[in-house]
Chains A and B, each alone.
Chain A
Amino acid sequence: DIQMTQSPSTLSASVGDRVTITCRASEDISRYLAWYQQKPGKAPKILIHKASTLESGVPSRFSGSDSGTEFTLTISSLQPDDFATYYCQQYNSYFWTFGQGTKVEMK
Chain B
Amino acid sequence: EVQLVESGRGLVRPGGSLRLSCVASGFTFSKYAMVWVRQAPGKGLEWLSTMSGSGGSTYYAGSVRGRFTISRDDSRNTVYLQMNSLRVDDTATYFCAKDGGRGVDYWGRGILVTVSS
Q: Which A residues are within 8 Å of any B CB, using their own CB?
A: 1, 34, 36, 38, 43-46, 49-50, 53, 55, 87, 89, 91, 94-101
Q: Is the CB of A43 within 8 A of B103?
A: no
The answer to whether A43 and B47 touch (CB under 8 A), given A91-B103, A94-B59, is no
Q: How far is the CB of B64 from chain A (nearest CB, A)?
A: 12
Q: Is the CB of B102 within 8 A of A91?
A: yes
B46 at the interface (CB under 8 A from A): yes
For chain B, which range describes its interface: under 10, 10 to 19, 20 to 34, or 35 or more residues?
Answer: 20 to 34
In the bound assembly, the distance between CA atoms of A60 and B3 in angstroms comes to 26
Q: Is the CB of B102 within 8 A of A98?
A: no
Q: Binary interface profile of B, 3-47, with partner A (CB < 8 Å = 1, else 0)?
A: 000000000000000000000000000000001000000001111
13 extra A-B contacts, CB within 8 A, seeds A1-B62, A43-B107: A34-B102, A38-B45, A44-B45, A45-B107, A46-B103, A87-B45, A94-B57, A94-B59, A95-B47, A95-B59, A98-B45, A98-B47, A99-B44
Q: Which B residues are in CB contact (< 8 Å) with A96?
A: 35, 47, 50
B109 — nearest CB in chain A belongs to which residue?
Answer: A43
